[in-house]
Amino acid sequence: MSWTDERVELLKKMWGEGQSASQIAKELGGVTRNAVIGKVHRLGLSNRATTTTKTENKAKPAPKVEAKSKPTPKPAEPAAKAAAEPAPKPLPPRKQIIPAGQPLPPQPSANEISPEALAKVSAIEKKAKRLSLMELTERTCKWPVGDPATEDFWFCGLPVQQGKPYCEAHVGVAFQPMSSRRDRRR
């Protein structure tokens, strides 16, 4: 299906009359509702002059229908209506977006590491070789220290434990027994 001049003119006319995209697609034939919407946007017709917004609809008074058998109910008092409706829930605060290259703020840790392990790590990091990424080998501890976005970032570099990527102290922090991890999930 191609958009001929006649079909485009019919589309413009029907859109200006306030017809829906589905109605226009049905009238044109061989075209989907989405194709009509796409063409409308490409033609720049997306703003209809004949449409009304919901606020305009509310502002117009509804036609009165007289009912002789039933008396008209009195409008509810605003105070009673406000008390009946629950207050809207406040939205949770949005998480701050941190630009790329900026250090992350301290995160609460879900892992609870024993004080002994932390003491051992801080003692080991004083002896660390402070290697760069290019200096690492399969025999050096690959535990990162510091913020990668800063110049003061390095890897431990001490000899690794057999079959592990870290030295003995960092293995104690990185690899925890299964039972303690299972207990944390509860």
Residues 79-98 have pLDDT tens digits of: 555 556 777 777 777 766 76
pTM equals: 0.36
Contacts for 6-15: CB closer than 8 Å, 24+ residues apart: 8/39, 8/43, 11/36, 11/39, 11/40, 11/43, 12/43, 12/45, 15/40, 15/45, 15/48
Copy the structure tokens of residue 13: 């006319």
pLDDT tens digits for 126-177? 888 889 999 999 999 999 988 888 888 999 999 998 999 999 888 888 877 6
